[in-house]
Structure formats: C-alpha cells, structure tokens
Amino acid sequence: MSNKYIEQNITDTLETNYMPYAMSVIVSRAIPAIDGFKPAHRKLLYTMYKMGLLNGDRTKSTNVVGQTMKLNPHGDAAIYETMVRLSRGNGSLLHPLVDSKGNFGKKYSSDMAYAASRYTEVRLEKICEEIFKDIDKNAVDMVDNYDGTLKEPVLFPTAFPNVLVNPNDGIAVGMASKICSFNLKEICTATAHYIKNKGCDLKKYLKAPDFSTGGELIYNEAEIEKIYETGKGSFKVRGKYRYDKKNSLIEIYEIPYSTTLEAITDKIIALVKAGKLKEINDIRDETDLNGLKIAIDIKRNADPDKLMAKLYQMTPLCDSFNCNFNILINGRPRLMGVKEILDEWITFRQECIERQTAYDKEKKEHRLHLLKGLREILLDIDKAIKIIRNTEDDSMVIPNLMQGFGIDEIQAEYVAEIKLRNLNKDYILKRTEDIRDLEEEIHFLELILSNKDLVNNIIIEDLKRVGKKYGKDRCTEIITEEQVLTVDNEEMIEDYNVKLFLTRENYFKKITLASLRSASEQNLKEGDEIVQEFEINNRSEVLFFSDACCVYKVRLHELNECKASALGEYLNNILQTEENEKIIYMMPNHDYKGMMLFAYKNGKLSKVPMSAYETKTARKKLINAFGDKSPIVRAMYIEKDEDILLVRDTDKAMLINSELVPLKQTKGSQGVQVYTLKKGSELTKMLFAGEFDAENPEYYRSEKIPATGHFITDEDKARNNMPRQIGMFE
C-alpha cells in the first residue's frame, strides 16, 4: 500500500492551521485589553469577586484556584502563578489586587520561591471595588465560560486607567507587549486634565513611569515624549544605595524592576573574580523581613560614589526598560502611545457609564411604574380589598384589579402581592412618597444619557475620588541625566603598573610589581628565553606584531595577571592567530605617539607612524601592518629619530640615523633601499646603536642611503662575540 501525499500551498496551510493558533494566543492569552487585564487575570479576579472575597475574610488560595478552574481550564499551577503576581506579598504591582497572607515570593528575587497554595490565604484588595464598579449593572458584556455553564465578563469596568497603573508584559505569536506602570495619583490627575483638554501637556501631570521596586529613573525628556506619543521607547532605572562610612559598607536597598538581586550579585561576584572590581572585599545578600538589602564591604580608600558608578555601568544595577504598548482594542492588537490609550479608555469608560445609567434608569422606571399603580390603590383601599375578596377565581384577581383601577398587569401583580397587613393608608402613603424623587432621578439619568459632558464629569469625579482614596507617593525617584555620575572607560580600569614579558616561544606574562618583588625568578619552558620586557600602566594597550604582517591590538587590562613562577599564557591562544603564525614584537602603547621601524632581508627599511595603527572602532586585528615583499629581520619602536646599526651577513655594518628613512603614512609600505647588497647577501640584523659595542662607532656611519656599509673590525667582532648572532631573529 503506497502512501498518498497531497500537495498544498504553504500560505494556505499557514492560514488554515497556524493563524487560528496565533490569533488565539494574541487575543486569549498574552496581550492585555483596555481594562489592563489578560483573560487569566480577569477569570481569577472575577471568581474571587463572586466568592464574596471583596468584603469577606480571607480563604485558602487552593479554594480560589479550584473555583477559578470553572472559568480557566489551563490548570491550577498557571492560575496560582497568576494569583502570586497580583498579590501584595509578591510586590510586582504598584497597587496589588490580591490581599495575601503567607509566602508569595518576591518580584526582586528569582530564588525566593512562593509557598504552595494550600499554605497561603487571599482576598481581594479594597481597590478592586473600583475594578468591579457597577459590573452587576450591565456595565460590560458577559459571555459563556468554556463549557457554557457560567457567565464571565469580557472586560472589567475599571473606574481608572488600570492598564497604565500596573505593569504588564506578554509574548504572543509574532508580537509582544510590555507596559510599564505609572503612579496612580499622577494617572488620575493626568486623565482628568486630558478629558477636559485634549491638547494638554501630559508630561506636566504624568511625570514618568513608576515601579513597585522603587529605584531611580534617569529622566530623558525626548525618550519619555517618544513613549507617550508612540508607545515604544526605553528609559533607564537604577538601584538606590546608602553608604555607611564608619564600616566602609554600601547597602543597596532598591533595584530596577526588570532585574533581580541574584542577577546583580552574580555579576558583581564575576567582576570581582575577574579582577575588575578590586575595591570590593565582600558582598552579601542581607535581605530579610524588612526588605531587600545587598551589603558590599569595600576597601577603606575606595570612593563609594565612583564604585557605584562603575556598578551602574557594568552590572544590571542600572537596567533599561523597553516599552511596547501593544493593547487589544475590540479584539485587535494595537500599538498605542499614552494619549491613544487614554482616548480608548475614556471611550470604553463612557460606554460603561452609559450602560450602567441605562440599567439604573430602567430599574427606576420600573419601580416608578409600580408605585404609580400603588398610588391608584390609595384612592380607594376598601375597593381593592372588596375586589380581591369578591373574586371567586384566583386567576381573575389581576384582571379584576386592572379593570377596577385602570392599571396594567404589572402594576396589578405588584398590588396583589402586597401583604394583607400592608393594605393600609400609612404604608401606601410612605411608598408613594418616593414617586417625585424617582421622577427627578430618572430625569437626571436621561440627561446623562443625552449629554457626553455629564458622562465625562462622572469619569472625572471617579478619578479624583480614586486618586485621593488609593493614591500614594511615587516609589521610583526621578533624577536628571546631569545628576548621574559617569565614569569613563579609562577610569573604570584599575590604575597600576605591571611588567610584561614576551618569550621566544611566544609565551606572554603580565606580572604586578608587587608580585615581582616577592618572587622575581622567572619560570620558563625548557629552551625558551625572554626576548622583551616592559613596565607599563594597566590602562595601556598592547600591540603584537606577527610574522604574517598582522598586528593584534589588546587592552592590557583584559589580559590575565600571573606570577613569575608560571609559564605564562600562549599568545596564539589569546590572540587566535593563524597556525604557525609567530609574534615577533610586542609594543605597549598608550597614546599612539612615536614610530615603528621595520628592517627586511632585502636591505630595505620602512618607518611608519604609530598613528597609522590607531582605529576609531575597537578592531582587534589589522592586516598589512608592514611590508610583505621580503622577510622581516626586526621590528622596533622609536620615540624619535635616532642612530641604528644595520648588519649585513656577519661581516659588514652600517650606522645611520633613522631620519634618513622617509616616514610613510601607509603602514603596508615596502620601505626604501638602505643597504646595497651584493648577490647572495642579505640584511641580518637591525640594532639600536647602543646594542653594538664598538671601539669607534662613527667608523660605521653613512650619511647617505643606500650605502654598502663598512667591514666589521676584528676587535669589534670580539667585543660583540661575533659571528654569534645578536638580537632576536636568527
């Protein structure tokens, strides 16, 4: 039996199979709606509302989770995680919605796990009264739950823009949402002013985002303006600290909302181990019931403010919050700025108030209708009693009352249901006194339904009331960029001198002077020897020239320190050179001043300014660092022009001043002919004049190039132990 395959257009397959899933995730799970809630939040809170937990005592979280499963079929673990995030104990929200008792973990810690639901208790916070305001008055649409046995709200009729008060983030399919939180008082004030004047400057009232974990927001007006206008952008929040001078102790007690204390401490520990934060002696997590605290013991001579500036730059202690205000509007995701969000929320809230007003009007009209029927009975109570008493058939009581008093069936039904003890003039008078009040109330409700300004006034009054009742001071302090102490890259690198060693076998050592003083005897690989050594500052850069005409640039502070007893690090591994490539010269550099001299076997020399190796970008490898037409004899750095000695084979030498060699701006220059060589001869050495011990150095001097040099005297050969090779390269 052969398998049958049906060819399908991939776009049709995606549309049929993938798009429904994608839309389900977007609409039903990940993206919040204009009320500020995702479906999981809404199902949980509505269940708690129906359980009477708005005004009642706390109940076990397990009980709530179990009841919520009637609306949310995604399992108890997911429901409880949602509850944890909404709880006061967890601290994720500026205004928690769940009043919790027990261990609910902490937003600022990834290691503090929350207790199982059987151990914790919950009820709704008082602010939820504003979340559910008039929900039982047809303020929002109700839909069937997943099995059609219960009703649940599509949205909550929140009396304030909760969508901007509590943070929210979610990842859907092909899109994501990340909404920061704002201070409740500021949001209520800003929204009220915006309703009155759409052209108002929101930044005047809504200063900046605010987070439950506090910290300091570094205010950038352009970025805040961009977020308010487009819904996208980022801003930086950093932690807060205090310094105990007596104990040389820094205490960090607030951190950015988007990170955790473990992420911060782990990064600091890693930097200390890497030797990049030598001011720190110890770091401890001292978080307790009083709140978060990271304690850092620092050296007595350390500057706490500069150290903290380093930590802000090198660790998550200063973190960016990237805004992406994607919100569901009528089932469609929309990226909106703060003004657009407020526009949509105001429209939504207007609809809620109009629906609730229509509901109240209908109820009051019904009540008025009944009372007007009762008023007719007041005209002749005895007649009513006589009609009921003389009616033989029970089904004829209502029709007979309708006919006797000229009232309709609903009014007659209401009169007929009055208890016998209430069929007195006093009772009926008291009931009918409400007619005038009801007529006035209905008239006012009709005015509201016909006048948007009255609806807006109700919204504004609600906002003022909520802001006054539940508002609190900002948790996140606003600071300007001018208040931020910055430490440039140079200052962040420790300032001390080290000694560098390069061996013939390409081993490299970076040793502190203190370490050298305690043990200076160098341990080398058998047969190896040191060919270069320098003392230089740790902030410098080191250039390694290779025989492949490349130069490798390394920041010295990035290289590991070692002891004299160690073999050192193999440069080919550090620099990731090509196979068989060898480093021929090491040049520590700090300011790219001076020149490089290159001597080649063909008798040519090239002189290149150090500035030719300076790059604007942090490139670590430069090719064509010097000429490649002839094998290199030696590379050397000179600060300014000076005398050098060139040796041909082992019999001739020539002393010249490097000023005879023209300076070439192109680092790959092939050089100029300095030595006139006979067939079979080659330049074998280039030495500083002081490296060659001569009875009469001027004997070898040439004032012009190219030149043939002078034969080395027997006395000078003996002085320099020739024909043994001198210098690095043999």
One domain for residues 600 and 583: no
Phi-psi region of 713 (alpha: psi -120 to 50; beta: other; left: phi over 0): beta
The total number of structural domains in the chain stands at: 5
Please tell me the distance from the alpha carbon of residue 529 to that of residue 374, in angstroms, as a whole number: 117
Residue 371 contacts residue 431 (beta carbons within 8 Å): yes
pLDDT of residue 727: 39
Domain range for 245 is: 240-316
DSSP 3-state of 715: helix
Which of 409, 437, 470 represents a domain boundary (last residue)? Answer: 470
Q: What is the CA radius of gyration of the chain?
A: 42
Active site residue 119: yes
pLDDT greater than 70 at residue 550: yes
One domain for residues 601 and 729: yes
pLDDT of residue 277: 85
* Residue 438 within any structural domain of the chain: yes
pLDDT of residue 18: 75
One domain for residues 585 and 600: no
Name the DSSP class of 707: B
Closest alpha carbon to 50 in 116, 118, 142: 142
* Residue 133 within any structural domain of the chain: yes
Model confidence at 489, pLDDT cuts 50, 70, 90, reads: low
One domain for residues 669 and 703: yes
Closest alpha carbon to 268 in 304, 236, 310: 310
Kindly name the residue from 18, 21, 119, 146 that is annotated as catalytic.
Answer: 119
Cis peptide before 723 (omega within 30 of 0): yes
CATH number at residue 398: 1.10.268.10
pLDDT of residue 28: 66
* Residue 212 within any structural domain of the chain: no
CA distances from 181 to 178, 187, 234, 251, 321 (A): 10, 10, 13, 26, 11
One domain for residues 578 and 602: no
* Residue 637 within any structural domain of the chain: yes
φ, ψ of residue 269 to 5 degrees: the values are -60, -40
Q: How far is C-alpha 488 from the chain's CA centre?
A: 22
pLDDT digits (tens, 9 = 90+) for 311-349: 999 999 999 999 999 999 988 899 999 999 999 999 999
The label of the residue with tokens 């090198």 reads 314
CATH number at residue 309: 3.30.1360.40
Average pLDDT of every residue of the chain: 89
One domain for residues 552 and 526: yes
Model confidence at 724, pLDDT cuts 50, 70, 90, reads: very low
One domain for residues 603 and 678: yes
Q: Considering the entire predicted model, what is its pTM?
A: 0.75
Which of 157, 174, 201 represents a domain boundary (last residue)? Answer: 157
Percent of the chain, pLDDT > 90? Answer: 58
Paired strand residues for 545: 551, 585
* Residue 485 within any structural domain of the chain: no
* Residue 181 within any structural domain of the chain: no
pLDDT digits (tens, 9 = 90+) for 90-138: 999 999 999 999 999 999 999 999 999 999 999 999 999 999 999 999 9
Count CB-CB contacts under 10 A for residue 41: 21
For the segment 138-150, the average pLDDT, to the nearest whole number, is 93
One domain for residues 145 and 52: yes
DSSP letters along 76-108, please?
HHHHHHHHHHHBTTTT-SSS-SEEEES----TT
Which of 157, 182, 208 represents a domain boundary (last residue)? Answer: 157
For the segment 531-554, the average pLDDT, to the nearest whole number, is 90
* Residue 614 within any structural domain of the chain: no
E-strand stretches of 196-248: 216-219, 232-238, 240-244
One domain for residues 52 and 140: yes
pLDDT of residue 729: 37
One domain for residues 637 and 586: no
* Residue 101 within any structural domain of the chain: yes
One domain for residues 565 and 603: no
pLDDT of residue 728: 37
pLDDT greater than 90 at residue 184: yes
One domain for residues 566 and 603: no
pLDDT digits (tens, 9 = 90+) for 650-664: 789 999 999 999 998
Closest alpha carbon to 604 in 638, 584, 637, 627: 627
